[in-house]
A = this chain, B = another copy of it.
Amino acid sequence: MIRVNENYLKLQSSYLFSEISKRITAFRESHPEREIIKLGIGDVTCALPAACVAAFHAAATEMGDERTFRGYGPEQGYEFLREKIAVHDYKERGAEIEAGEIFISDGAKCDVGNIQELFAEDVIVAVPDPVYPVYVDTNVMAGRSGDWQDASYRGLVYLKSTEHNNYVPELPETKVDLIYLCFPNNPTGATISREKLREWVTYAQKNNALIIYDAAYEAFIKDETLPRSIFEIQGAKEVAVEIRSFSKTAGFTGTRCAYTVVPEACNVYTRSGTAVPLHTLWLRRQTTKFNGVSYPVQRAAEAVFSAEGKKQVKDLIDYYMHNAGLIRKRFSEMGFLCTGGDNSPYIWIQAKMASWDFFNLLLEKAGVVCTPGSGFGKCGEGYVRISAFNSHENVEKALHKISDVFR
């Protein structure tokens, strides 16, 4: 009999963003005349940078000519892209990452979801709370969560991120093996200082733990004193993997390109204590279960590093950060406590009521979609996440409607 992986049955309800979609659809059906402005799911709205579109076109043309056609590319990604990432995203900022340590993929969600396969089923996993649900759900599927009880999984260690610690969790009191960190944070928008990040690296070194560092939002960091990569911290190459994406940086949510850095110095261990290079394992995983990213997409991503590409990406970031500043300002003026929005596209707002109540209120009274904080974990209850990814016009309109609700 073909039996199911029963860990899947421990998953709680549906994925947060699917639930939001359902509620929007229901609202739209019952109020067909009402305009809806989405500041919920963190999806970009501005066009792909012109440099990327041009590269996309040129590469599609190459595919249409057998002299320049490309079939299977390297599963790890083309050198032309890996090398540019190594130089522009790392070496220029003092982090010694080589092209060979970079793996191109079709999404940060895929990498963050797949990498846990490389670890033993009984490693102790620590996740932030509030948390990007993928960190949790993929470990539930793999059997690392234990049972669901009192709105949390018994086998996971939740790293509380609250206003009391500025949304940067303290080191865990019990020993953990696999640690998910995300800065600038999704959903809170909080950032981590070099000193705090160093504490985590030191913890990982002392405990032979591994940090999965999700830096999908690093491009939004304006404060030059903040680290953009965990590899700016000495020793991190031995204990960390970093995941980044072109999705939010350059508007690739529908185009699909991301990358994961697995340093060659990073080891995991057998039960008897033998070190195994994580790089070799990930390469094996990717060559076995993945076939690389579409060639034209990789060319489009490469264009992000051209002179015009850099300029266009900067303009994109500035555009959204103008929204972020405005959202934070207006909500603050309305008397809400806010985090984020300064070095991140997310603003985390204390709702003064249950998260889904605030979500429903905003949807029904203002036609604005936000993301209920409780969907990100216990510590998210009473908060909502507002995203800066929309047009200036829509953000202005949404804020206007929201201020009518709370006037």
A residues apposed to B, CB below 8 Å: 1-6, 8-9, 11, 14-15, 18, 41, 43-48, 50, 52-53, 56-57, 60-61, 63-66, 69-73, 106-107, 109-110, 113-114, 117-123, 133-134, 137-138, 141, 177-178, 207-210, 251, 253-256, 268-271, 273, 276, 281, 284-285, 287-297, 300, 391
Contact = CB atoms under 8 A, between A and B. Distances in A.
A71 B45 contact: yes
Contacts of A9: 270, 276
Contacts of A300: 60
Contacts of A296: 56, 60, 255, 296
Contacts of A284: 8, 11, 14-15
Given A60-B56, A256-B294, A178 B2 contact: yes
A295 B254 contact: yes
Contact of A4 (B50, B119, B256, B295): B119
A11 to B, nearest CB: 7
Nearest to A43: B71
Given A4-B118, A5-B120, A208-B2, A109 B291 contact: yes
Nearest to A48: B63
Nearest to A53: B64
16 contacts: A1-B269, A2-B210, A2-B269, A3-B123, A3-B177, A4-B269, A8-B118, A8-B276, A41-B72, A47-B66, A53-B64, A57-B60, A71-B251, A72-B254, A138-B288, A254-B294
Contact of A287 (B18, B72, B288): B18
Nearest to A46: B66
A254 B71 contact: yes
Q: How many copies does the complex hold?
A: 2
A107 B291 contact: yes
Contacts of A63: 47-48, 53, 56, 254-255
Contacts of A5: 117-121
Contact of A110 (B11, B109, B255, B291): B291
A319 B9 CA distance: 48
Contacts of A60: 48, 53, 56-57, 60, 296, 300
A4 to B, nearest CB: 4
Contacts of A177: 1-3
Nearest to A8: B281
A63, A177, A297 — which one has the most chain B CB atoms within 10 A of its CB?
A: A63
A48 B72 contact: no
Given A3-B123, A9-B270, A138-B289, 18 more contacts: A2-B268, A4-B268, A6-B271, A14-B284, A15-B287, A41-B72, A43-B71, A47-B64, A48-B63, A48-B64, A50-B64, A56-B60, A57-B57, A57-B60, A57-B61, A72-B254, A137-B288, A294-B294
Contacts of A292: 254, 256
B134 A288 contact: yes
A45 to B, nearest CB: 7
Q: Please give me the 9 A-B residue pairs with the lowest Cβ-Cβ distance, nearest first.
A: A113-B289, A53-B64, A43-B71, A3-B120, A56-B60, A2-B210, A71-B253, A70-B254, A1-B208
